[in-house]
Amino acid sequence: MFFKKLLQEIKEVTIPLYKILIPFVFIIKLLEITGIVGFIAKTLSPLMSLIGLPAELGIIWVTAIVVNIYAALILFINLLPYLDVSIAQITVLTVAMLLCHNLLIESAISKSAGVSFFFTSFYRFISAFFVCLILNFIYSKLNYLNEPFTTSFIVELPETGFLAWIKDQTLYLFYIFVIVVVLVTILEILKVIGVESFLKKILVPPLKFFGISESAMNIIIVGMTIGLQFGGGILIKEVNSGKIDKQSVFLSVMLINLIHAIIEDTLLMLAVGGHFSGVIFARIFFGLLISLLMLKLYINFNLFFEKYIFNKKLNQLPDFK
Question: Taking 70 as the threshold, does the pLDDT of residue 142 lie above it?
Answer: yes
Over residues 166-219, the pLDDT tens digits come to 888 888 888 888 888 887 788 778 777 776 677 777 888 899 999 999 888 888
Is 251 inside a domain boundary? yes
Is 153 inside a domain boundary? no
pTM of the model: 0.90
The number of folded domains in the chain is 1
Is 319 inside a domain boundary? no
Q: How many residues does the chain have?
A: 321
Q: Taking every pair of C-alpha atoms in the chain, what is the biggest distance, in angstroms?
A: 62
Is 300 inside a domain boundary? yes
Is 275 inside a domain boundary? yes
Please tell me the predicted confidence (pLDDT) of residue 94: 96
Is 170 inside a domain boundary? yes
Is 320 inside a domain boundary? no
Q: What is the mean pLDDT of residues 43-67?
A: 92
In three-state form (DSSP H/G/I as H, E/B as E, the rest C), the secondary structure along the chain is CHHHHHHHHHHHHHHHHHHHHHHHHHHHHHHHHCCHHHHHHHHCHHHHHHCCCCHHHHHHHHHHHHCCHHHHHHHHHHHHHHCCCEHHHHHHHHHHHHHCCCHHHHHHHHHHCCECHHHHHHHHHHHHHHHHHHHHHHHHHHCCCCCECCCCCCCCCCCCCHHHHHHHHHHHHHHHHHHHHHHHHHHHHHHHHCHHHHHHHHHHHHHHHCCCCHHHHHHHHHHHHCCHHHHHHHHHHHHHCCCCCHHHHHHHHHHHHHCCCCCHHHHHHHHCCCCHHHHHHHHHHHHHHHHHHHHHHHHHHHHHHHHHHECHHHHCCCCCC
Determine the structural domain holding residue 37 and report its residue range.
2-148+161-313
Please tell me the predicted confidence (pLDDT) of residue 157: 60
Is 154 inside a domain boundary? no
Please tell me the predicted confidence (pLDDT) of residue 196: 65
Share of the chain above pLDDT 70, in %: 96
